[in-house]
Chain A
């Protein structure tokens, strides 16, 4: 998945990196109990393939994976912070 940002920056993401970053309560855990992503070591192939992306208002993306998992709302803030281009990586390691 590729995002062209309002400021002209471009970020690209693999299905795998997106799936492991899923911010939903089931994956992250809630009320002190760990979520699914903390409990498993690996994910199935169909869990890592992006099937559909829908815009949520103007603040987030809802990403549906082929496994049917689609409860994560990825805010633009989260997605931008995940950008792994050389420029962003250099800035992150500097701070």
Chain B
């Protein structure tokens, strides 16, 4: 359908208008343009969604990016069940975040306000390009675009050097992953001569087993960078330097879901590479557990949420590795709802607390921020996986698939889920329950956020509560998993390659019930423990290690960053300054010096010149004395 190009066009226009005219537009106009562009995309996405539901997928090609004889890379969009789901998530959540931002960023000056919204629109545009592209090259363009935008937005307050450092860190870590992605694309290109999804997945027989394993592993490296998995996850918690709605956008709607999307898109390749699948599952599970342990002891409200994102992304990769592609996409969706809600709620708290982010100085905000409190509580219930909130369904689906892959994955994943419940309710209780621990002044200024901020919270809270019902597992009601049915065409090829097993009903009931009961017990423990906390003692031992994030940042600093910067300074001081500069300057200095000496010859004394002339002639005579012609001549004369 010819509406497709409108989806990325609106944010692009919003980016251009807000970016170019940010100084002359008023704040309200900037907000309307920025949010309106995304709303328009969202409306078109809904139309496309209905279209896909009735007519199936479609590919629209506009022009060729590259056209070299038989080798063509078209600029084409592929709208199918998978991309349309992502379109709805990106534009829908993105729109809410834009609306929220109009209030949250209102303290900024006109120019920065416009800059903020133009970046935000560009971010959404890149992400749309990423999911809409019909080949890996378009995806790569969007892939790089979100990397750039994350850099711009994390370093939005560029006068603070720590923030700039965080932005650089995000960019560099993403670049490491991008290299893997790029190599994988080249590999595919070398083997097949095409990068279009349809053609690649149709001609997988041309790949050898090692090709597929290599390609999928390299793609996974890319996904690790973008979706913050071990070992490339440390940028995401530091990305908290950006404004809070940006964190919501990065964590919920864009950026980090790119890796999940890419693997879900390449599901055929992954299903054919069981080794890679195991790697993906193990890395995902390790990340889920590792990040969850760190989140247990963080005291910054945004840091807790950041590590919970890393952990939840780990679950998604666990699902992908276990072959539960639908489950992973489902979790992306529910996670987008409740994580956006959590971040926006956190933003509302930070806004009310005048940029205080330490939860040790909060507490008792329940009375002052009623809407934020209720929505935050619902989001916590959803992310913890309490039935019947949305997180329960998606997480359960992933854990069930993990059990089929290997029961150990399941048990570890369940422990991670318990930790999730614990740290989320620790966060909730410390923030909203108990007594207020901040300063008098902060207490005086506590207020609920304006409606532009609370309405998105309410919408997201509703979605977080009911969002799970599109994927009701079979044991509750047969044939009720709407998402699975909808996405079936995407994953049909994978399903035909690998026969999916199903759990016994009794096992599934036991797992589901057991985990749910344990989660509720953990929630009650956390609630009771932290709603009464008033004194914070310095932690020690393992808790201290957790508080310092297992010292991974320090490890990276010492093992990678320091040696590289050391090498850099050696190259700069020795090779560059002494070597290359020395050679270049030396030539210059030599010419300068020798010309200064030679200049003395030109004294202006005519006598000297003649003397040199005569001497030169004499020298010439002496030199050529023995030449045959001269010798012959002299012989003749004398």
A, B in one complex: no
Residues of A within 8 A of B (CB): none
- Residues of B in contact with A (beta carbons under 8 Å apart): none
